[in-house]
Structure 1
Amino acid sequence: MKMIVGKVVVLGNQGVGKTSTCMTYVEKHFNHQTLPTIGAAFYSTKINVADKMVNLHIWDTAGQERFKAMAPMFYRNSQAAIVIFDITSEDSFESMKGWVLELKRNVEESIILVVVGNKIDLAEQREVSRDEALGYSKTIGAHYYEVSAKTDQGIELVFEYVAMELVKANSKNTPKANRSYNSDDINNIMAFSSELEPTDTANEELVNISINHIAHGDSVSPICC
């Protein structure tokens, strides 16, 4: 079976549920006490699409302002981006647009783009309508999904869509599929991360448990593909 490797970056403000979304999908687990990601967390998962095996390398980036300068390191060589906002927070939706602009400034080639409205389990507190989010997504050429990381509603569809689009790109032999990233990217990320102080925030930030992890103070094995 042919293997397709795709790098996926997950963006959005702190607290919108980026880590919960990744963990719910990859590890089938929702943590009610997820702490802010420091730097980024890395997850790897495989999806069967038709006769292809798609290996998603998912980079869950930190949403705090102090980590924004680090974000372009994760954009490099990404085939797909999942930009998440909280449907109960208009501010997170407006901030998400900034993440999209930043992404487009740093990625020269076309990229699979998905906008995700999280926390539909809190629909009674909704501040961003589906129509508003869908309309915005169309203007930037993105596919739109609404999900709940807490109840695992809709999340599988998001990653399946990304995998299917990677397969389509691969079949057309476009550079969007199977772009590689090397250990230099990891070293740059870790060099930046090592300069951060864990006391910059009020709470002690513990690393998130995942298949693999990049965060402040953690060592990382080189990734070849």
Structure 2
Amino acid sequence: MGESLQRSPGRTRLRSDTLSTPVKTLRVKMVLLGASGVGKSSLAQRFVKDEFRNTSPTIGCAYMTCAVHLSDVSLRFEIWDTAGQEKYHSVTPLYYRGAHAAILVYDISKRKTYIRAQVWLKELEKHCIQGSTVVWLVGNKGDLTLDRQVSVQEGESLAKDRGLFFTETSALSGDQVSNLLLDVAHRVSECIGVQQGGLSEWTETPLMDLHPRDTSSVFSSCCRVGP
């Protein structure tokens, strides 16, 4: 499915408020997978708001959006942040089926999460058609390098063997997080883009509050960011 990318300065703008010329906006479904506590929600917050917050374990799945502007197209990412707890494992395929991008996250300081990531990968391969999903293996919590239990070489080797892209990040410091999202955007555009009919145009759908007095509604756990 891919390999690590070298950054090229200035090739893309992320979440820019203005573009020099109007471009088409395409919809990209992206899912975050991995064990509980590896930092999936923190990565999602970095993608959307470029901030770090301590988060509680995700219940079921959380949803948010953000835009990435490339030179010839804008991509509106619909980010599905799935729960990593074992009890939610059986329902997770409902969220990642049809995903254009999948971010498979492990914690570099906890080997068991690296092993768990390989279980998620097997599940992902069962439900996704090869070539229809850009899959990225991400070793998060790069700021815990002194507690590292999974080497960079191990991550790179697994990615190479399984045809994945690979990056190490730190949601805490923000290191490589923006670069990761930009690289995913480029790969999705190149591999699954409009020329192959793989991405549909984004259309705004008004959100309806069906239960205005029910604060326990499932929609209360989702976050809609941006237009």
User: Cα–Cα, structure 1 residues 36 and 159, in superposed 2: closer, same or farther, change >3 Å?
Assistant: same
Deviation at 1:208, TM superposition (A): 5.7
Partner of 1:17: 39
User: Cα–Cα, structure 1 residues 179 and 39, in superposed 2: closer, same or farther, change >3 Å?
Assistant: farther
User: Cα–Cα, structure 1 residues 171 and 27, in superposed 2: closer, same or farther, change >3 Å?
Assistant: closer
One-letter amino acid of the structure 2 residue matched with residue 69 of structure 1: S
Of residues 106, 110, 124 in structure 1, which corresponds to 2:146? 124
Identical-pair percentage: 30
Structure 1 outlier segments of 4+, above 2 Å: 169-180, 207-212
Partner of 2:30: 8
Instruction: Give the number of equivalent residue pairs.
Output: 188
Of residues 132, 137, 146 in structure 1, which corresponds to 2:159? 137
Higher fraction of helix: 1
Moved more, 69-78 or 121-130: 69-78
Give TM-score scaled by structure 2 length. 0.77
Partner of 2:224: 211
The answer for unaligned runs of 5 or more in structure 1 is 184-193, 197-206, 213-225
Deviation at 1:172, TM superposition (A): 6.7
Partner of 1:92: 113
One-letter amino acid of the structure 1 residue matched with residue 166 of structure 2: Y
One-letter amino acid of the structure 2 residue matched with residue 113 of structure 1: V
SS at match of 1:151: coil
Q: Does 1:150 align with 2:172?
A: yes
Deviations 1:109-163 (A, max 9, x none): 4210101000011100000000010000111111101000000110111111111
Deviation at 1:174, TM superposition (A): 2.5
Q: Does 1:41 align with 2:54?
A: no
Whether contact under 8 Å (1:4, 1:167) holds in the other structure is no
Partner of 2:11: none
Query: 1:74-89 to 2 correspondence within 5 Å?
Result: 74-89=95-110
The RMSD of aligned alpha carbons is 2.2
Of residues 80, 84, 92 in structure 2, which corresponds to 1:59? 80
Query: How far, CA to CA, are the matches of 1:79 and 1:179 in structure 2?
Result: 14
Partner of 1:191: none
Deviation at 1:76, TM superposition (A): 1.6
Partner of 1:217: none
Partner of 1:26: 48
One-letter amino acid of the structure 1 residue matched with residue 50 of structure 2: K
